[in-house]
A and B are shown apart, each in its own frame.
Chain A
Amino acid sequence: MVLQTPPLEPVESIIPLAEEDLNRKDYASDVDTRWCPGCGDYSILAQMQRGLSNLNVAPEKMVFVSGIGCSSRFPYYMNTYGMHSIHGRAPTIASGLKLSRPDLMVFVITGDGDALSIGGNHLLHVLRRNVDVKIFLFNNRIYGLTKGQYSPTSELGKVTKSSPVGTTERPLNPLSVALASEATFVARSFDTDPQHLTATIERAARHHGAAFVEILQNCNIFNDRAFADYTDRNVRDERLLYLEHGQPMLFGENKNKGLAVSATGLRVVDADGPDAGLILTHDATRPAPDVHQLLARCAYPEMPVPMGVIRQVTTPTYGDYLDSQIEVQKFKNRHDVTQLLRGRSTWQVE
Chain B
Amino acid sequence: MTTTSTQANGSGNTSAPIQERDRVTVRFAGDSGDGMQLAGNRFADATAVFGNDFSTLPDFPAEIRAPAGSLAGVSSFQISFSKHQIFTPGDEPDTLVAMNPAALKSHLSALTKGGLLVVNEDAFTSGNLKKANYPSNPLSDGSLDGYRIIKAPITTAAVAAVDDLGLSNQNAERTKNFFALGLVYWLYDRDLQPTLDWIEDRFGRLPNIAEANRRALYAGHAYGETTEIADAHVRVPPAVLKPGEYRTITGNQALVLGLITAAHLTDLELFYGSYPITPASDVLVELAALREYGVRTFQAEDEISAVGTAIGASYGGALGVTGTSGPGIALKSEAINLAVMTELPLIVLDVQRSGPSTGMPTKTEQTDLLQVMFGRNGESPLCVLAAKSPGDCFYMVLEAVRLAYQFVTPVVLLSDTYLANTAEPWPVPDLNQLDPIDVPYRRLEQTAPEDFQPYVRDPDTLARMFVPPGHAGLQHRIGGLEKSDISGDVAYSPENHQRMTNLRAEKIQRIANFIPEVEIDGPESGDLLVLSWGSTYGAVFTAVNDAREAGHEVAHAHLQYLNPFPRNLGDVVSRYKKVLIPEANTGQLRMLIRANFLVDAKGYNEVTGQPLSARQLTDAIIQLSND
- Interface centre among B243, B269, B311, B469, by most chain A C-beta atoms within 10 angstroms, is B469
Are A332 and B292 interface neighbours, CB within 8 A?
yes
Answer yes or no: A63 CB below 8 A from chain B CBs: yes
Q: Is A94 an interface residue (CB 8 A)?
A: yes
Note all chain A residues with C-beta closer than 8 A to B428: 341-343, 346
Closest A residue to B302 by CB, please name it: A121
A29 at the B interface (CB under 8 A): yes
CB-based contact B476/A81 at 8 Å: yes
Looking at the complex, which one of A100, A333, A347 makes contact with B269 (CB distance below 8 Å)?
Answer: A100
Closest to A93 in B: B312
Among B227-235, B293-301, B523-531, B608-616, the one that faces the other chain is B293-301
In the complex the two chains form, is B471's CB within 8 Å of A60's CB? yes
With beta carbons under 8 angstroms apart, the residue of B302, B310, B477, B490 that contacts A81 is B477
Is A341 a contact partner of B261 (Cβ separation < 8 A)?
yes
Question: Counting CB contacts under 8 A, is B14 at the interface?
Answer: no
Chain B contacts for A79, CB-based, 8 A:
475
Q: Which residues in A have their C-beta under 8 angstroms from that of B470?
A: 60-61, 81, 101, 103-104
Inter-chain CA distance A146–B444, complex, in Å, is 39
Q: Which of B246, B316, B317, B476 lies at the interface centre, i.e. has the most chain A CB atoms within 10 A of its CB? A: B316
Are A94's CB and B296's CB within 8 A?
no
User: What range describes how many residues of A lie at the interface?
Assistant: 35 or more
Q: Knowing A63-B469, A92-B308, A335-B293, say if A346 contacts B247 (CB, 8 Å).
A: yes
B481 at the A/B interface (Cβ < 8 Å)? yes
Please tell me if the beta carbons of A93 and B244 are within 8 angstroms of each other in the complex.
no
Q: Which residue of B lies closest to A62 (CB)?
A: B469
Q: Contacts A60-B474, A92-B309, A322-B296 given; indicate if A100 touches B245 (C-beta within 8 A).
A: no
Of the candidate stretches A3-11, A83-91, A191-199, the one touching chain B is A83-91
The docked-state distance in angstroms from the alpha carbon of A83 to that of B308 is 12
In this complex, how many residues of chain B approach chain A with their Cβ under 8 Å: the count is 72
The reply to whether the CB of B304 lies closer than 8 angstroms to some CB of chain A is yes
Instruction: Say whether B318 faces chain A, with CB atoms less than 8 Å apart.
Output: yes
Which residue of chain B has the shortest Cβ distance to A333 in the bound complex?
A: B292
Cβ-Cβ contact count across A and B, 8 Å cutoff: 205
In the complex, chain B residues whose CB is within 8 Å of the CB of A99 = 271, 296, 298, 309, 312-313
- The answer to whether the Cβ of A334 comes within 8 Å of any Cβ in the partner chain is yes
Find out whether the CB atom of B479 lies under 8 angstroms from the CB atom of A85: yes
* B205 contacts A by Cβ under 8 Å: no
Output the least CB separation between B193 and chain A (Å): 12
- A345 partner, pick from B247, B304, B474, B480, beta carbons under 8 A: B247
- Closest A residue to B322 by beta carbon equals A96
Query: Which residues of A in the span 239-274 have a Cβ within 8 Å of any Cβ on B?
Result: none
Measured CB to CB, the nearest residue on chain A to B248 is A343
Chain B residues with Cβ below 8 Å from A82 are: 476-479
Stretch at the interface among A136-144, A206-214, A307-315, A323-331: A323-331
Per-residue CB contact flags for chain A residues 140-166 toward chain B (1 = under 8 Å, else 0) read 000000000000000000000000000
- Contact (Cβ within 8 A) B431 A342: no
| CB-nearest residue of chain A to B319 | A100
Q: In the bound complex, what is the Cα–Cα distance between A91 and B480 (angstroms)? A: 16
Are the C-beta atoms of A100 and B316 separated by less than 8 Å? yes
Q: Could you tell me which residues of chain B, from 217 to 260, have a CB within 8 Å of some CB in chain A?
A: 241-249, 253, 257, 260
Q: How far in angstroms is the closest Cβ of chain B from A168?
A: 28
CB pair B49–A95 under 8 Å, yes or no, is: no
Q: A63-B469, A83-B477, A92-B308 are in contact. Are A348 and B246 (CB under 8 A)?
A: yes
Q: What is the chain B residue whose CB lies nearest that of A16?
A: B470
Contacts of A59 on B, CB cut-off 8 Å? Answer: 475
Q: A86-B335, A125-B301, A343-B247 are in contact. Are A95 and B309 (CB under 8 A)?
A: yes
Known: A96-B310, A125-B305, A335-B292. A349 touches B242 (CB 8 A): yes
B497 close to chain A: CB less than 8 A = no
B residues less than 8 Å from A335 (CB atoms):
292-294
Task: Assess A349 versus B271: contact at CB under 8 Å? Given A89-B304, A96-B312, A97-B312.
Answer: no
Would B315 and A350 count as touching, CB distance under 8 A? no
Give chain A residues whose Cβ lies under 8 Å from the Cβ of B478. 82-84
Asked if A293 is an interface residue, CB under 8 A from chain B, the answer is no
Interface pairs (5), CB distance under 8 Å: A100-B312, A124-B301, A337-B264, A340-B293, A341-B431
Task: List 15 extra interface pairs beyond A101-B470, A340-B293, CB under 8 A.
Answer: A29-B475, A60-B472, A80-B469, A81-B477, A83-B479, A93-B315, A96-B311, A100-B312, A100-B313, A101-B317, A101-B318, A104-B470, A330-B291, A332-B292, A337-B261
B residues sitting closer than 8 Å to A (CB atoms) are 45, 48-49, 51, 241-249, 253, 257, 260-261, 264, 269, 271, 273, 290-296, 298, 300-302, 304-318, 320, 334-335, 337-338, 342, 428-429, 431, 468-481, 489-490
